[in-house]
Structure formats: structure tokens, C-alpha cells
């Protein structure tokens, strides 16, 4: 097999070119090829060396599939050391993304250039790791302590201009990158530019208090993860020790993180996300339906967020509402959301203007006659949804995809009211839809293969993590939430308080405890749904008596200022003795004996309720694979990534 690395001389410049699609990952073959080329260049007539990549990106990181395999020499630290030790100037020419080990290689080069739209970063923390080839040490010396901590603890890439302002890139090249890099390398030779080794540079001045500030902040932000704390320690070592000693600290921290259950869980999620996009029984050569125009039914918070998701991907959107007043209100929600994005620096005013121009509105379904897809996003009333789909069946062109954003309802029953059930699919977005990454794609009994393939493709285009679900009440995520909620109600009656339950789960790593979640969602929603059920359909009153009494007392959750907790203007949840007395009274009425319950029991019972239902979902074929369930809970329900998702956690006894 031909090497993915080539080396050639062009005048006095030695050019190392890597072509290892799709992202030029630093596999063993790539590392070996670069190492050999660097060695060859030391003895030939070259006077400077340029490292570049073919394809759409510079090195996008290490080959993660090698992480759990025996290491083959040269390892990345050896390669980085060889690059920096070169007796001839080495220039790294970056385009696309230079991430992780790829950016560590660039940091070891003596000079760095990049195209204007290139991005660089050290995202290892997202896998429960930290840079392991000198990234913490060299970044700190080049950009300073604060910039290094920001870059490495966030894992978020930065654009070339920002990197240049920090001293991480020396030159931005417009036009042809390789030609520009070769010309620049030639100029460096002509100018007799020195060989600048980042390991030999002094760390810029800093305030020593910064390390404890970051440790305190990260303990709050990254509960259950050890990598952020180790990153701070490695950067502190860079600032206070020799390069060699700091490198030893970084190496040990990397090895500790690599062996941790937290990294195992986060690496599982990395691969699970990629698996989730694959639908096992779809033909590979299936022709997708074009989706260039989309209609949205409903201009509420959810509909507005969905509209923004498509517009932000360059797709024309038409929003339908029942009246001019409702339409104006819906479009104003979108305008407020965009204004907030500008204020937070997430989008520029120019970007917002271009996205907003793609969104129009109407009160006439005829405006949807030529759209490629419609997403219905009205409230959870099955009769209303069926009425809407009958109208869409009459109005929409043949081949248009008809999607429902229902979070619970029977997609097959909705499809059955149309003359084209094969065009109907579920697209369950999570609120706020323009921010939340998860999308449950619900495959109906008659959903056509090309419809499913097209929806999975457009999900990627609008930057969602899509998971396929079969049809059942609540699909994957909300179905699992039912036993989770029931267990939380049993724990309350048996002796735990709302604060203890939520505190136990949040300390374990959940973004929010179950009672706070119910308050946030609104206790009146389930209450209203239960009013249409018989006593037999409602089931055991132990699972709903307390929330029903709260609603009947006017405590509907955050929106009413009180639910399981009381809420002040800052939305902070405060324990309320009235609620605890209400719980005690219900327990006595239902004959539930109260006792002390440990935090450990709370966590074990609640997580077990998720896992048990997840296994039923797998057995029934509702989910394709166990890891899909993990993705749903990581991206949709605040499950801690460091735990790897409920199914991974159960199978691997993490923590």
C-alpha cells in the first residue's frame, strides 16, 4: 500500500504532503511517513521544510481508533519532538481545521501559516483527555496562561485571525496556501530567519491567582470530569517549571485521563454519535429527495426555533400561523432569538440579516404548495395534528415530506389520515430547537426509505445529531422519562425531599434533577393530559397524586412561580416546607411508610429506571442500537457525558 505521505524538493524547499482522507488523521502510517520525511530532509539540499495536507483539512487530530491499541512507534510525542528538533526551519501550512494532535504538530513547527478561514484548537477535553504531545506546554509559552486555559479547557476551536492575535499563528495566506507557504519559507531562508522553538520561549507574564480561579470555575462547570483539572495543572506546570518537567506533568496527566472511566464514556459518545447517523437497513445507493424549501406549521417557541435551524443552514422557510396576529407574534419570537444571538456574540448582524431574510410567513396553507418538506409544530393534540395533515395532504405537492414534531403521539395514526403515509415521518426537535442538538427521527410503519434517508441528511445539514426511533408512546427519550418520573415520585413518598433528589442527581452529574425538570416543563401539561384518562388508565396514584395536588393549588412550575419549589425573579429554585408537608400527607393517605433514603439509593433507583426501560426499547426494536439511546440522553436530557449515557454506564459500571 502506498504511503499517505510524500516528500519532494522544489528548489530549496522540502515539501511534505499528507493525503489520508477523510480528515488526515494522525494514524501510525501518517506519523511514520512524516517522521521519515523530516529525517530525509535533514540530509538533503533543502534549506527549509513545509508540512501541508491535501484534501479538505490539515490534520484534524489523532486517529481515535488507535487509542485502545498497542502504541506503534513513532508516537505523536516522538514525531513532534523530531519536527521541533529539525536543523532546518519547518513551516506548518494549515487549512480547514488543525485540531488536537494536528495542532500540536503545528505548534512544534518553527513557523505557522494558515488560510483565513482555517480553525485551530485542542479539543481533547471533549474526550475526557488533554493534549499529550506538548500542547499545554507550547500553547502556554506562545499565547500565555489565560489564552491557553481558555483554549484547552473549552476545547472550542478558534479562527485563524484570533490565533494570530494570540501568537499561535504567524501569517495568514490568501490565495493558494501551498504556493504562499513555499514562497514564505523561501523568504525566511533569504532573511536568515532563526529557528524558533516554542519549547524555548518564555511564558508571558500572568497573575498566579488565575489557576485557582479556573479550578473553582471548572469544578462547577465540569462536574464528574477529571480532565479540566488536569489541564489546569499542566498549564500551571508550563508556567512554573522547565519545559522538560512540564512535559512530564502533561504526559502523566494524559495517561491518567486515558485510563479513566470518564474518558472511556466520552470516547464512547464520540463513536456513538457517528453510528447514530447510520440506518442499518437503508440501501447505500438510495436517492434522496431534495430539501431546499421548508414549511413550518406553528409559530410558537418550538416552531420559531425549528424555522431558525433551517434558515441558519441556508434553507428557505415559510411559517404558517392561524392569524395575522399569531404570525406577527411568531416572527417576533424569531427576531428576539436572533437579537439575543448577536448580543451574546454567537452571530454577527450580517449573518442574522441573511438568515432572517430566508424566513417568511403566511396564514394560508396554499403558501406550502411547492415546499419540499413541512414540519408541523403545534401543541400535543392528536386531533389537531390529524386535521393539519389532512390539509397538508390536499395542498402539498407529490413527494413533499410531511413531518410531525410530536414528542409523544402515534406517527402512524397521523400518517393514516393522509393518502400518502409513505411521505410521513416524525421529527422530534428539543427546545430550544435552534440550540439543542438532538433530533429524534421517528420512522413510521409506512415511511419510505428515501424519506428517512433525506431526513437524516437534512438533520446533518442543520447541525443536529439525529437518532432513529420506531413508533411508540414517547419514542426513546420521553418513554424512558416516564419510569424515571414515577421513580422520583415514589422516592418522595418514601422519605426523600425534592431538594435531596435533585441534589443527589446533580452531584452525580445530571444537568438538572428530575423535580426541577418537571417544574421547568410545567406540571400542568401532564395534569391536563391525565384529565382525559380513566382511573385505570392513570394507574397507581402514587405516581401522580403529589403533582396533581400541586397543580390544583396553583403551583404549575417555574411559569407560575411555584411547583415542587418556589421561584423568585432570578428563577432560583427554593425549597418550600408547604410542599414537604403535602408529600408527607399524601404518603400517609396512600399508606407509604417513610424512612431515611441515601443519595446513593436515589441515584441507583433513578438510573436503573432509565436503563430498564432502555432495554425494553432495544428488545422491541424501537432503537437500532444501545448507543443510540445513550446519544438521546446525552444530547436531549442532560445525562453527563462523562458517564457515557445510561446504557453504557449500566454495561460498564462507570463511577
Walk along the chain (655 residues) in steps of 10 and give the mean pLDDT of each run: 92 97 94 97 97 96 81 93 98 97 98 97 96 97 98 97 97 96 97 97 96 93 88 98 98 96 94 94 93 96 95 97 95 95 92 96 97 94 94 97 94 98 97 94 98 98 97 95 96 97 95 93 85 84 94 93 89 92 96 96 97 97 97 95 95 68
171, 182 contact by CB (below 8 A): no
393, 421 contact by CB (below 8 A): no
Name residues whose C-beta falls within 8 Å of residue 485's C-beta, 6 or more positions apart in sequence.
Answer: 514, 518, 543
Closest of 146, 165, 173, 182 to residue 52, by C-alpha:
182
- 386: phi > 0 → left, psi -120 to 50 → alpha, else beta; which? alpha
Domain positions in the chain: 5-258, 293-469, 477-621
Task: Give residue 297's Cα distance to chain centre.
Answer: 27
Closest of 27, 67, 238 to residue 152, by C-alpha:
238
Q: Tell me which H or E stretch contains 113.
A: strand 111-114
- By CB atoms closer than 10 A (0-12, 13-18, 19+), residue 180 is middle
| Number of Cβ atoms within 10 Å of the Cβ of 542 | 18
pLDDT (0 to 100) of residue 145: 98
Name residues whose C-beta falls within 8 Å of residue 58's C-beta, 6 or more positions apart in sequence.
Answer: 24, 52, 92, 93, 94, 95, 96, 97, 98, 102, 106, 118
* Parallel, antiparallel or unpaired: strands 401-404 and 424-429: parallel
This prediction has a pTM of 0.91
161, 172 contact by CB (below 8 A): yes
In this structure, which topology does domain 477-621 adopt according to CATH?
1.10.1040
Q: What is the distance between the alpha carbons of residues 12 and 110, in angstroms, rounded to a whole number?
A: 17
| Number of Cβ atoms within 10 Å of the Cβ of 53 | 28
Q: What is the distance between the alpha carbons of residues 525 and 302, in angstroms, rounded to a whole number?
A: 16
* Parallel, antiparallel or unpaired: strands 111-114 and 97-99: unpaired
Name the 3-class secondary structure at 91.
strand
The active-site residue, picked from 104, 250, 494, 613, is 104
Residue position matching grid coordinates 424501537: 622
Closest of 544, 234, 355, 648 to residue 346, by C-alpha:
355
Q: What is the distance between the alpha carbons of residues 18 and 339, in angstroms, rounded to a whole number?
A: 43
Q: What is the distance between the alpha carbons of residues 218 and 228, in angstroms, rounded to a whole number?
A: 7
The residues pairing with 623 across neighbouring beta strands, listed in sequence order, are: 469
Q: What is the distance between the alpha carbons of residues 390 and 103, in angstroms, rounded to a whole number?
A: 54
* Parallel, antiparallel or unpaired: strands 90-94 and 48-53: parallel
pLDDT (0 to 100) of residue 1: 67
pLDDT (0 to 100) of residue 630: 98
Q: How far is CA 30 from CA 23, 36, 111, in A?
A: 12, 10, 21
Name residues whose C-beta falls within 8 Å of residue 228's C-beta, 6 or more positions apart in sequence.
Answer: 125, 153, 218, 221, 222
| Number of Cβ atoms within 10 Å of the Cβ of 350 | 9
- 463: phi > 0 → left, psi -120 to 50 → alpha, else beta; which? left
Does domain 5-258 fall under CATH 1.10.1040.10? My reply is no
124 is catalytic: yes
Q: What is the distance between the alpha carbons of residues 508 and 118, in angstroms, rounded to a whole number?
A: 38
In this structure, which topology does domain 293-469 adopt according to CATH?
Rossmann fold (3.40.50)
Across the beta sheet with 465-469, the strand order is 359-362, 316-320, 293-297, 373-376, 401-404, 424-429, 438-442, 465-469
DSSP assignment letter at 623: B
380 is catalytic: no
The active-site residue, picked from 32, 40, 47, 124, is 124
- As given in the structure block, the three cell numbers for residue 64 are 481515535
- By CB atoms closer than 10 A (0-12, 13-18, 19+), residue 175 is exposed
| Number of Cβ atoms within 10 Å of the Cβ of 72 | 12
Amino acid at each position: 500500500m502506498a504511503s499517505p505521505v510524500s516528500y519532494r524538493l522544489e528548489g530549496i524547499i522540502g515539501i511534505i504532503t499528507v493525503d489520508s482522507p477523510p480528515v488526515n488523521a494522525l494514524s501510525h502510517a501518517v506519523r511514520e511517513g512524516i517522521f521519515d520525511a523530516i529525517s530525509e530532509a535533514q540530509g538533503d539540499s533543502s534549506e527549509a521544510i513545509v508540512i501541508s495536507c491535501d484534501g479538505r483539512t490539515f490534520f484534524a487530530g489523532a486517529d481515535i481508533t488507535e487509542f485502545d491499541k498497542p502504541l506503534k512507534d513513532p508516537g505523536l510525542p516522538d514525531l513532534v519532538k523530531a519536527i521541533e528538533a529539525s536543523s532546518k526551519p519547518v513551516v506548518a501550512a494549515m487549512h480547514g481545521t488543525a485540531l488536537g494532535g494536528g495542532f500540536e504538530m503545528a505548534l512544534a513547527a518553527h513557523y505557522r501559516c494558515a488560510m483565513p478561514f482555517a480553525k485551530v484548537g485542542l479539543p481533547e477535553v471533549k474526550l475526557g483527555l488533554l493534549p499529550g504531545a506538548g500542547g499545554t506546554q507550547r500553547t502556554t509559552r506562545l499565547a500565555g496562561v489565560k489564552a491557553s486555559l481558555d483554549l484547552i479547557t473549552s476545547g472550542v476551536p478558534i479562527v485563524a485571525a484570533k490565533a494570530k492575535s494570540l501568537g499561535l499563528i504567524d501569517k495568514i495566506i490568501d490565495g493558494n496556501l501551498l504556493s504562499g507557504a513555499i514562497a514564505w519559507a523561501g523568504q525566511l531562508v533569504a532573511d536568515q530567519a532563526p529557528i524558533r522553538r516554542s519549547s524555548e520561549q518564555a511564558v508571558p507574564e500572568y497573575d498566579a491567582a488565575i489557576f485557582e480561579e479556573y479550578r473553582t470555575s471548572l469544578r462547577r462547570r465540569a462536574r464528574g470530569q477529571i480532565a479540566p483539572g488536569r489541564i489546569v495543572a499542566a498549564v500551571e506546570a508550563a508556567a512554573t517549571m522547565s519545559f522538560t518537567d512540564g512535559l512530564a506533568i502533561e504526559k502523566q496527566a494524559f495517561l491518567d485521563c486515558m485510563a479513566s472511566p470518564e474518558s472511556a464514556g466520552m470516547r464512547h459518545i464520540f463513536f456513538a454519535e457517528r453510528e447514530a447517523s447510520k440506518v442499518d437497513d437503508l440501501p447505500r445507493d438510495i436517492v434522496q429527495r431534495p430539501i431546499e424549501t421548508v414549511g413550518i406549521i406553528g409559530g410558537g417557541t418550538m416552531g420559531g426555533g425549528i424555522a431558525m435551524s433551517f434558515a441558519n443552514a441556508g434553507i428557505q422557510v415559510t411559517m404558517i400561523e392561524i392569524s395575522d396576529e399569531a404570525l406577527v407574534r411568531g416572527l417576533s419570537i424569531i427576531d428576539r432569538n436572533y437579537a439575543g444571538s448577536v448580543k451574546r456574540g454567537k452571530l454577527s448582524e450580517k449573518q442574522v440579516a441573511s438568515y432572517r431574510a430566508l424566513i417568511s410567513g403566511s396564514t394560508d396553507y396554499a403558501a406550502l404548495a411547492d415546499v419540499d418538506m413541512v414540519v408541523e409544530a403545534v401543541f400535543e393534540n392528536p386531533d389537531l395534528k390529524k386535521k393539519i395533515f389532512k390539509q397538508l395532504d390536499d395542498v402539498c405537492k407529490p413527494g413533499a415530506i410531511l413531518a410531525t414534531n410530536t414528542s409523544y403521539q402515534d406517527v402512524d395514526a397521523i400518517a393514516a389520515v393522509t393518502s400518502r403515509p409513505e411521505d410521513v415521518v416524525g421529527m422530534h426537535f428539543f427546545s430550544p430547537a435552534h440550540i439543542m442538538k438532538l433530533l429524534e427521527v421517528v420512522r413510521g410503519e409506512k415511511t419510505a426509505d428515501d424519506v428517512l434517508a433525506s431526513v437524516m441528511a437534512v438533520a446533518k445539514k442543520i447541525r443536529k445529531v439525529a437518532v432513529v426511533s420506531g413508533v411508540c408512546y414517547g419514542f426513546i427519550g420521553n418513554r424512558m422519562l416516564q419510569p424515571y418520573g414515577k421513580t422520583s415520585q415514589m422516592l418522595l413518598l418514601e422519605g426523600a425531599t425534592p431538594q435531596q433528589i435533585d441534589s443527589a442527581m446533580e452531584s452525580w452529574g445530571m444537568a438538572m434533577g428530575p423535580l426541577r425538570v418537571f417544574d421547568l416543563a410545567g406540571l400542568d401539561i401532564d395534569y391536563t393530559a391525565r384529565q382525559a384518562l380513566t382511573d385505570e388508565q392513570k394507574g397507581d396514584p402514587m405516581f401522580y397524586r403529589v403533582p396533581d395536588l400541586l397543580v390544583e393549588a396553583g403551583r404549575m412550575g417555574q411559569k407560575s412561580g411555584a411547583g415542587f419549589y418556589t421561584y423568585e425573579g432570578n428563577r432560583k429554585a427554593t425549597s418550600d416546607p408547604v410542599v414537604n408537608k403535602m408529600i408527607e400527607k399524601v404518603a400517609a393517605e396512600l399508606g407509604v411508610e417513610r424512612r431515611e433514603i441515601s443519595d446513593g439509593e436515589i441515584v441507583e433507583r433513578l438510573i436503573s429506571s432509565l436503563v430498564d426501560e432502555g432495554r425494553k426499547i432495544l428488545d422491541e426494536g424501537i432503537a437500532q442500537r444501545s448507543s443510540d439511546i445513550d446519544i438521546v440522553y446525552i444530547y436531549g436530557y442532560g445525562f453527563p457525558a462523562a458517564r457515557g449515557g445510561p446504557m453504557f454506564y449500566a454495561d460498564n459500571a462507570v463511577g
